[in-house]
């Protein structure tokens, strides 16, 4: 049996970039069922696609997976815009059947009110801009590249996934203080909106803790940490790290249920071809001004 959550929240998949762990997130989503799936921003990296990114088949597979969740499990999907998929601003709010594209949302859990937003709104307010600028520059791209090299090496030797970029960030003082400041600012905003909690993404740092009486939840990312948030039907939240999932035992379970469920879904065979995706617009030049990226 697949674990059935009430809600799964993922953010910062950055589809269209090399660092995007598209295969991994598809595999992750296949392990679970959920009533609600919230895609909390930066799912498609429109900025990168405009510059040098390429849309690959595995990126389309992510959306095929989402469509399957809607069809097979009647999952309600909310796609909230992030700064990298801000091209969505032109079309939202938009609702097509069980898919809703919007800016942000209020979510209720265990009688508590949560404000869900990607969380880039504070980029202009936070004073420690050095780290944000760094995320946008060659250093961050290099770090993600090195991360891939290191993990390729580790994979070949049977070692578990290790997030080099998270390790480096934890060492850089300015990054740590930026993250602290960010988390506090978002908790403050939730309180100002009369909410008991905040659910965001953006800084690629998964979290589940109390900040001054506000429940702060961050769904992490799928370029570095491969993490997500899940809420069970009792309203308990948990962080799931891809590297900690025991796929083997889940797989064995699925083989068992195969014989009991004749309508077992056929996976991956029906890939909807999406050959060309163009995110080019006449405003390309806007991107060349400070290339913030997070």
Note the residues at the interface with Mn ion (CB under 5 A): 42, 82-83, 120, 202
In the DSSP assignment, the letter for residue 227 is: E
- Rounded distance between C-alpha atoms, residue 228 and residue 240, angstroms: 5
Q: How far is the CB of 207 from Mn ion (least distance, A)?
A: 15
> Which of residues 123 and 253 has its CB atom nearest to Mn ion in the complex?
123
Instruction: Please check whether residue 3 is in contact with residue 29, taking contact to mean a CB–CB distance below 8 angstroms.
Output: no
d(Cα 23, Cα 160) in Å, to the nearest integer?
17
DSSP conformational letter for 284: G
Q: Which residues have a Cβ under 8 Å from the Cβ of 283 and sit 6 or more positions away?
A: none
Peptide bond before residue 284 is cis, with ω within 30 degrees of 0: no
CB of 30 to Mn ion, least distance (A): 25
C-alpha 30/C-alpha 124 separation (Å) is: 37
Give 69 or 80: the residue with its C-beta nearer to Mn ion: 80
Query: Residue 104, CB half-sphere, CA atoms under 13 Å: how many?
Result: 16
Residue nearer to Mn ion on the CB measure, 29 or 44 = 44
Residue closer to Mn ion by CB (options 80, 211) is 80
Q: Is the dihedral of CA 127, 133, 136, 138 positive or negative?
A: negative
Which is nearer to Mn ion, 30 or 202 (by Cβ)? Answer: 202
Task: Tell the smallest beta-carbon distance from residue 60 to Mn ion (Å).
Answer: 22
Least Å from the CB of residue 268 to Mn ion: 29
* CB 294, min distance to Mn ion, A: 5
| Cβ density class 2-15: b for 16+ within 10 Å, e for less | eeebebbbbbbbbb
Instruction: Tell me whether residue 120 or residue 183 sits nearer to Mn ion (CB atom).
Output: 120
Closest CB 41 distance from Mn ion, rounded Å: 6
Q: Which of 50/68 has CB closer to Mn ion?
A: 50
Whole-angstrom Cα Rg for the chain:
19
Taking the complex as a whole, the smallest distance from the CB of residue 186 to Mn ion amounts, in Å, to 13
| Dist. CA 143–CA 224, nearest whole Å | 10
């Amino acid at each position: 049996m697949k674990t059935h959550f009430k809600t799964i929240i993922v953010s910062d998949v950055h589809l269209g970039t090399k660092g995007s762990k598209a295969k991994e997130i598809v595999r992750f989503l296949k392990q679970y069922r959920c009533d609600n799936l919230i895609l909390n921003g930066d799912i498609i990296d429109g900025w990168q696609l405009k510059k040098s990114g390429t849309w690959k088949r595995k990126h389309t597979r992510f959306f095929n997976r989402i469509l399957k969740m809607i069809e097979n499990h009647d999952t309600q999907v909310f796609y909230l815009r992030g700064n990298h998929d801000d091209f969505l601003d032109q079309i939202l709010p938009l609702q097509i059947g069980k898919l809703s594209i919007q800016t942000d949302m209020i979510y209720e859990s265990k009688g508590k009110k949560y404000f869900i937003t990607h969380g880039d709104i504070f980029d202009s307010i936070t004073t420690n801009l050095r780290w944000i600028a760094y995320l946008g520059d060659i250093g961050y791209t290099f770090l993600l590249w090195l991360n891939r090299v290191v993990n390729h090496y580790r994979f070949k030797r049977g070692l578990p996934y290790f997030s080099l970029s998270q390790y480096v960030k934890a060492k850089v003082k300015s990054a740590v203080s930026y993250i602290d400041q960010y988390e506090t600012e978002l908790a403050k905003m939730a309180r100002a909106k009369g909410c008991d909690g905040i659910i965001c993404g953006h800084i690629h740092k998964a979290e589940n803790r109390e900040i001054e009486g506000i429940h702060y939840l961050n769904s992490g990312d799928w370029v570095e940490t491969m993490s997500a948030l899940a809420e069970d039907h009792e309203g308990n939240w948990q962080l799931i790290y891809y590297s900690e999932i025991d796929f083997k035992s889940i797989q064995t379970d699925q083989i068992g249920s195969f014989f009991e469920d004749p309508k077992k879904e056929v996976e991956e065979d029906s890939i909807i071809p999406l050959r060309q995706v163009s995110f080019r617009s006449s405003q390309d030049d806007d991107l060349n001004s400070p290339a913030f990226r997070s």
